[in-house]
Each structure stands twice: as C-alpha cells, then as structure tokens.
Copies of this chain bind each other. A is one copy, B any other.
C-alpha cells in the first residue's frame, strides 16, 4: 500500500517518526550540519557545496521546514535558513528519553 497506518500508534510515536524521517537522508543531515557549523543562518551557499541540483536541495529544505526542524526568512533576493530552536529542543528531549531507556548489560540474545 505504501501508506503508514498512523492511527494505530500514539501521537508521540508518530511525531518522533516524522522528525526522524525528516532527518533520515544524508543530504538533509549534510544541510543541517552546514547550518550547525556556521552557527548562523545559511543563505543559498548550499547549492554548489553539496553535489545536488538546485531543485533537489530546495526540495530537501522544504522537507526540513515542513517538519519544523528549520525555518527560513526571505533576505532580499535570497532566503536564510536556521535551526528552529523549539523543534531542536523537542528532538533532544524525545530522542534522549527514547535512547536513554536502554539499560544495557542485560544482553540475553
């Protein structure tokens, strides 16, 4: 079918899955790293740095924006992107709780 049955899962599970999915692509990880490294907004520079076409990068940026992970502001001719602090904090919290739930050392398999 190709259609996820979201209705049988909790809102938290769906939300975390959506956020992870938005990041689950090397291009989008590269984009986020680029924004994180410069610690400011990134205006356009992305095209040319990654080896992808402009249309493709625009599409990846859109996905990150739709997931609420980044936000963009029009700055004259170009558009500036930066991390959305609120979502990033949510991500840290949710993922931290999720990953931290593993109490290791029980290795039964």
Contacts and interface: CB of A to CB of B under 8 A. Distances in A.
A3 interface: no
Contacts of A81: 109
Nearest to A75: B109
Contact of A24 (B21, B26, B39, B108): B21
A37 B99 contact: no
B108 A85 contact: no
Chain copies in the assembled complex: 2
A41 B5 contact: no
Give the interface residue-count category, chain A: 35 or more
A104 B92 contact: no
A29 to B, nearest CB: 5
Interface string A1-34: 0001110110001101100110111111110110
Query: Counting chain B CB atoms within 10 Å of each CB, which of A6, A16, A29 scores highest?
Result: A29
